[in-house]
Amino acid sequence: MEEPELTTVSIRPGLVDTDMVGTVRKEGVENMAPDQYAMFASERTDKSLPVIHPDVPGHIIASLAINAPTSLNGKNLNWDDEVLRTHRN
């Protein structure tokens, strides 16, 4: 059933700097495969997946909840996608 007044957008928030990520940084080195741990390590050499503050995707999601354009309906987007530029701080 289609709901013309409902717009849904899926956001991939990326690697968010949360307490859980902090725990992985402290304890993961002993319990994770090196390549998996490297994704969370604070001294990461691969900057293709930045660790972002929770407010960044949170602001985007809040903005979309209030004012998501229907052109984004059904989309699955990365938090840094250009079409979301106007929904960032």
The domain locations on the chain are 9-87
- The CA–CA distances, whole Å, from 68 to 11, 64, 82, 83 equal 12, 4, 14, 11
Per-residue pLDDT, 59? 97
Alpha carbons 28 and 82: distance in angstroms, whole number: 33
Q: What is the pLDDT of residue 81?
A: 97
Percent of the chain at pLDDT > 90 equals: 52
Residues above pLDDT 70, as percent of the chain:
90
- Tell me what pLDDT residue 47 has: 64
Question: Which residue ranges of the chain lie beneath pLDDT 50?
Answer: none
- Give 32's contacts (C-beta < 8 A, 6+ positions apart): 24
CA–CA distances in Å: residue 25 to residues 28, 37, 70? 6, 8, 39
The pTM of this model reads 0.78
